[in-house]
A and B are shown apart, each in its own frame.
Chain A
Amino acid sequence: MSATGIGASVRRKEDFRFITGKGHYTDDISRPGQTYAYFLRSPHAHAKIKRIDKAAAEKMPGVLGVLDGAEMQADKIGNLICGWMIHSKDGSPMKMAPHPALAVGKVCYVGDPVVVVVAETLAQAKDAAEKVVVDYEELPAVVDCAKAKGATQIHEVASDNVIFDWHLGDKAKTDAAFASAKHITKLDIYNNRLAPNAIEPRAAIGEYDTGSESFTLWNTSQNPHVARLVIAAFVGMAPENKLRVIAPDVGGGFGSKIFIYNEEVVALWASKRVGRPVKWTAERSESFLNDAHGRDHATHAEMAFDADGKILGLRAHTVANLGAYMSTFSSSVPTYLYATLLSGQYAIPQIYCEVDAVYTNTAPVDAYRGAGRPEAAFVVERLMEVAARELGVDPADLRRRNFVKSFPHQTPVIMAYDTGDFDASLKKAMELADYKNFGKRKREAERRGKLRGIGFSAYIEACGIAPSQAVGSLGAGVGLWESAEVRVNPTGSVEVLTGSHAHGQGHETTFAQLVSERLGIPIESISIVHGDTDKVQFGMGTYGSRSGAVGMSAIVKALDKVEAKAKKVAAHMMEAAEGDIEFKDGTFTVAGTDKSAAWGDVALNAYIAHKFSGQELEPGLKEGAFYDPANFTFPAGCHICEVEVDPTTGETEIVNWSAVDDFGVVINPMIVEGQVHGGVAQGIGQAMIEHAIYDDNGQPVTGSFMDYAMPRAHNLPSFKVGMTMTKCPSNPLGMKGCGEAGAIAAPAAVINAITDAIGTENIAMPANAATVWAAIQKTQPRAAAE
Chain B
Amino acid sequence: MYAFEIHRPTTVRQAVNLLAKNPEAKLLAGGHSLVPVMKMRLASPSALIDLSKVEGLAGVEVGSRSVTIGAMTRHRDVARSPELHQVMPALASVPDSIGDPHVRNRGTIGGSIANNDPNADYPAACLGLGATIITNKRKIPADEYFQGMFDTALEPDEIITKVSFPIAKKAGYEKFKHPASGFALVGVFVSKRSSEIRVAVTGAGANGVFRATVFEEALKKRFHPKSLDGVTLSTDEMNSDIHAGKDYRAHLVGVMARRALAKAVAG
Contacts and interface: CB of A to CB of B under 8 A. Distances in A.
Interface of A: 123, 126, 285, 648-650, 689, 691, 693, 701-702, 705-710, 768-770, 773-774, 785-786
Interface string B241-263: 01111001001101100110000
A705 B258 contact: no
Interface of B: 1-3, 40-41, 176, 179-181, 225, 229, 242-245, 248, 251-252, 254-255, 258-259
User: Which of A650, A702, A709, A770 has most B Cβ within 10 Å?
Assistant: A770
A46 to B, nearest CB: 21
A708 B180 contact: yes
Contacts of B40: 285
A770 B244 contact: yes
A126 B41 contact: yes
Contacts of A710: 180
Contacts of A707: 180-181, 242-243
A231 B73 CA distance: 55
Contacts of B179: 689, 709, 768-769
A773 B242 contact: no
Contacts of B255: 648-649, 785-786
Contacts of A689: 179-180
Contacts of B41: 126
A689 B243 CA distance: 10
Given A649-B176, A786-B258, A705 B248 contact: no
Nearest to B100: A712
Contacts of B245: 770
What are the 3 closest A-B residue pairs judged by CB atoms, nearest first? A709-B180, A709-B179, A706-B181
A786 B242 CA distance: 26
A786 B255 CA distance: 7
A502 B261 CA distance: 53
A701 B244 CA distance: 14
Contacts, number: 48
B190 to A, nearest CB: 14
Given A649-B176, A689-B179, A708-B180, A774 B248 contact: yes
Nearest to A126: B41
Describe B's contact surface by its main secondary structure: loop
B259 A786 contact: yes
A126 B181 CA distance: 28
B242 A693 contact: yes
Contacts of A706: 180-181
Contacts of A769: 176, 179
Contacts of B229: 785
A472 B264 CA distance: 68
Contact of A649 (B2, B3, B252): B252
Contacts of B225: 786
18 contacts: A123-B1, A123-B2, A649-B176, A649-B252, A649-B255, A691-B242, A705-B180, A706-B180, A707-B242, A707-B243, A709-B180, A710-B180, A768-B243, A770-B244, A770-B248, A773-B248, A774-B248, A786-B259
User: Which of A285, A773, A774, A785 has most B Cβ within 10 Å?
Assistant: A785
A648 B253 CA distance: 11
B259 A701 contact: no
B109 to A, nearest CB: 21
A649 B179 CA distance: 13
Nearest to B256: A649
B252 A123 contact: no
Contacts of A648: 255
A786 B224 CA distance: 12
Given A773-B248, A773-B251, A702 B242 contact: yes
A126 B243 CA distance: 32
Given A689-B179, A707-B180, A770-B245, 17 more contacts: A285-B40, A648-B255, A649-B176, A649-B252, A693-B242, A705-B181, A706-B180, A707-B243, A708-B180, A710-B180, A768-B243, A769-B176, A770-B243, A770-B244, A770-B248, A785-B229, A785-B254
B126 to A, nearest CB: 23
B72 to A, nearest CB: 25
Nearest to B186: A649
B85 to A, nearest CB: 23
A708 B181 CA distance: 8
Contacts of B176: 649, 769
Nearest to B40: A285
A715 B248 CA distance: 21
A701 B241 CA distance: 10
A703 to B, nearest CB: 10
A686 to B, nearest CB: 13
A648 B186 CA distance: 14
Contacts of B3: 123
Contacts of A770: 243-245, 248
A768 B180 CA distance: 11
Nearest to B41: A126
A70 to B, nearest CB: 27
A53 to B, nearest CB: 21
A623 B75 CA distance: 61
A648 B259 CA distance: 11
Nearest to B254: A785
A786 B243 CA distance: 23
B60 to A, nearest CB: 28
Contacts of B243: 707, 768, 770
Contacts of B259: 786
Contacts of A773: 248, 251
A769 B245 CA distance: 12
B101 to A, nearest CB: 13
Contacts of B242: 691, 693, 701-702, 707
